[in-house]
Amino acid sequence: MAGQRGRSSDQGSRRRAASRPAGPERPFSGGPALPALAAVGLPLVGAVVDELSGPGMGLAFAVCAALGTGLAVALSTRRGWWWVVAAAPLVVLGATVVVEFSADTGKYQGSKLATGSAKWVVQGFPVMAQAVAAALLVIVVRVVRDRRRQQHG
């Protein structure tokens, strides 16, 4: 009797496993290190380049933020997409704060820190939107490509 229960239990677990979608359980393929490095590293590099070439964030920061976010989505699994899209605005703001504050610490003392923070949020908003748009574009391309593969394969 115990042997029969064991066999039916094995069959049930096989059915449950077969009904689950194939693929890794983790949200990032190969671990989160590479997508995180792309999502954070590229915007930081762009921010540093822009800060060294003149005051404030510019084109290099915007391009690197969008490329980093898009690359992070490309390196992530479906479960990781949400994390990358949700984190993109925070990464952009964080990179702006770190680089701007580090470049001119004396300028942002006391009440000027609050003013500078508000300026960083307002000026960073278009870059945040571009990074999220880049992530969503990569997601759409991946979904369309996966559907075409399923239809043809």
Euclidean distance between CA atoms 140 and 63, whole angstroms:
20
pLDDT at position 18: 47
Tokens in use for 60?
A: 């290099």
Question: Which tens digits make up the pLDDT trace of 96-140?
Answer: 999 999 988 888 888 899 998 999 999 999 999 999 999 999 999
Considering only CA atoms, which of 29, 93, 42 is closest in space to residue 70? 42
pLDDT at position 130: 97
First to last CA, the chain: 44
Euclidean distance between CA atoms 77 and 89, whole angstroms:
20
Question: Which tens digits make up the pLDDT trace of 49-61?
Answer: 999 998 778 899 9
Give the angle 134-62-46 at the CA atoms, nearest 5°.
Answer: 120
